[in-house]
């Protein structure tokens, strides 16, 4: 167990029973516009969970999240849900660019790709699921707006990464997910350098789902990065930025099964 309490009087009471402790961060401001309608999942990307928590609460770091979930499932709240935590950075989804105002950020303790990227323990995932379900009872959050940092910032981020078990979340009614179409050498395949109407159609479908990509019809580096981010979340068996038949079929299935808007 890597959690240990920090000697600091909490500035508020935890908003959910899932959070066993409060370690308040001063890195927040007021939300702009609508109430939160997204949950954004991150990994901490640091070797030590305590160091990550300390950074999220240090005023000079200018970063924060609403919650931190440790490997053993211990959950800490750092920012009130009604406030705008600073976790998304430069990002976009479905045409929106102030993702911090629209989302509740959850940092999941994992050293990430830079430090070996281990699997997420089941106890930790169980806590993430419980936390997400708790948040979703207090806010109007559609299943398809429970996302990873890499979805909204594909050129900068890889977290929570290809080892994150989105299927387990989906089985608990958290997030939108379909079983990926199997890998195959048959069928259409679009890749870097290609220009065609098929590329434009694929770009439009990615944008329809929410990804920030222009429908230029040209498969440039921006498109390759977005396709790789899509694969990291929804078809992690192979992440190469090539829109093969498996990727295209999985994208179509997601659009076909997308839940209707809430309310």
Task: Supply the residues annotated as catalytic.
Answer: 107
The residue whose two tokens read 């398809």 is: 144
Beta strand segments in the chain, E: 21-22, 28-30, 38-43, 67-69, 75-77, 83-85, 103-108, 146-148
Contacting residues for 167 by C-beta, under 8 A, at least 6 apart: 177, 179
Tell me how far apart the alpha carbons of residues 133 and 177 are, in angstroms, rounded to a whole number.
16
The residue whose two tokens read 């069928």 is: 187
Residue 180: Cβ within 10 Å count: 19
Give strand pairing partners of 103: 38
Tell me how far apart the alpha carbons of residues 211 and 147 are, in angstroms, rounded to a whole number.
11
């Amino acid at each position: 167990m890597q959690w240990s309490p920090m000697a600091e009087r909490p500035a508020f009471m935890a908003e959910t029973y899932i959070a066993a402790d409060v370690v308040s961060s001063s890195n927040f401001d007021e939300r702009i516009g609508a109430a939160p309608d997204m949950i954004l999942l991150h990994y901490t990307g640091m070797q030590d969970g305590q160091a990550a928590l300390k950074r999220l609460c240090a005023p000079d770091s200018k970063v924060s999240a609403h919650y931190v979930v440790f490997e053993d499932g211990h959950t800490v709240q750092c920012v009130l849900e009604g406030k705008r935590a600073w976790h998304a950075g430069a990002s976009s989804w479905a045409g929106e660019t102030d993702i911090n105002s629209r989302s509740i950020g959850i940092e999941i303790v994992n050293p990430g790709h830079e430090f070996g990227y281990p699997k997420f323990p089941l106890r930790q995932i169980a806590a993430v699921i419980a936390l997400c379900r708790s948040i979703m009872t207090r806010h109007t959050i559609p299943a398809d707006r429970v996302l990873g940092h890499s979805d909204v910032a594909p050129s900068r981020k890889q977290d929570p990464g290809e080892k994150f078990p989105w299927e387990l979340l989906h089985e608990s009614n958290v997030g939108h997910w379909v079983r990926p179409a199997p890998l195959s050498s048959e069928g259409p395949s679009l890749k870097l350098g290609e220009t065609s109407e098929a590329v434009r159609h694929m770009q439009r479908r990615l944008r329809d789902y929410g990804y920030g990509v222009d429908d230029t019809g040209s498969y440039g580096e921006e498109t390759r990065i977005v396709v790789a981010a899509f694969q990291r979340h929804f078809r992690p068996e192979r992440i190469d930025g090539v829109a093969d038949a498996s990727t295209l079929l999985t994208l179509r299935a997601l659009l076909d099964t997308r839940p209707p808007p809430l309310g």
